[in-house]
């Protein structure tokens, strides 16, 4: 538009309609991905140092475990067993049916530890994680940019 030019009412309505269509289509794409395929999470704390730092921005894959079970060494995000409104990130060290220390894991339980065991609240203190509390596995690091990559 040139200075002093105005738009007709029908042009404004068309632009609004185009914006609404764009917003609806975007939500129809983004919401299912966010709910069932991948979620962003930010690492809080030092329990996963040196592999994950406080403030790392991760994308968590929620699909893989629909097709396979979690494996030893996977870094998972899960709901904290003592308070399911909180999310934790840890590495799987014990699989269902195994005995870790004096704990025998049930068919739906995993033993998890932080990589920085001296600064980690993990299965050593509050027990195993039930499979239904697992959100997914850490898949992609987006921040910091210097550490960007598939995990």
- How many other CB atoms sit within 10 Å of the CB of residue 113? 18
The percent of residues above 90 in pLDDT, for the chain, comes to: 56
Q: Is the pLDDT reported for residue 1 higher than 70?
A: no
14 and 63 belong to one structural domain: no
Q: Structural domain of residue 63, as residue ranges?
A: 39-150
Q: Calculate the average pLDDT of the chain.
A: 86
Task: Provide the β-strand partners of residue 21.
Answer: none
Please tell me the predicted confidence (pLDDT) of residue 142. 82
Please tell me the predicted confidence (pLDDT) of residue 22. 78
Catalytic center residues: 47, 90
26 and 74 belong to one structural domain: no
Total-model pTM: 0.74
Report if residue 2 sits inside a domain: no
Q: Is the pLDDT reported for residue 79 higher than 80?
A: yes
Instruction: Give me the CATH number covering residue 52.
Output: 2.10.109.10
47 and 118 belong to one structural domain: yes
Residue among 91, 82, 83 at smallest CA distance from 117: 91
Yes or no: say if 62 and 36 are a contact pair by the CB < 8 Å rule: yes
Alpha helices (H) along the chain? 9-32, 123-126
141 and 128 belong to one structural domain: yes
109 and 138 belong to one structural domain: yes
């Amino acid at each position: 538009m040139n200075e002093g030019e105005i738009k007709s009412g029908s042009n404004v309505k068309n632009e609004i309609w185009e914006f609404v269509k764009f917003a609806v289509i975007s939500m129809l794409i983004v919401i299912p991905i966010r709910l069932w395929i991948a979620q962003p999470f930010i690492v809080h704390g030092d329990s996963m140092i040196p592999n994950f730092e406080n403030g790392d921005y991760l994308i968590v894959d929620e699909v893989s475990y629909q097709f396979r079970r979690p494996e030893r060494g996977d870094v998972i995000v899960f709901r904290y067993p003592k308070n399911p409104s909180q999310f934790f990130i840890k590495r799987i060290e014990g699989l269902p049916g195994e005995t870790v220390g004096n704990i025998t894991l049930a068919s739906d339980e995993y033993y998890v530890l932080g990589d920085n065991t001296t600064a980690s609240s993990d299965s050593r203190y509050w027990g195993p994680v039930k499979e239904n509390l697992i959100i997914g596995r850490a898949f992609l690091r987006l921040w910091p940019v210097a550490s960007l990559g598939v995990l």
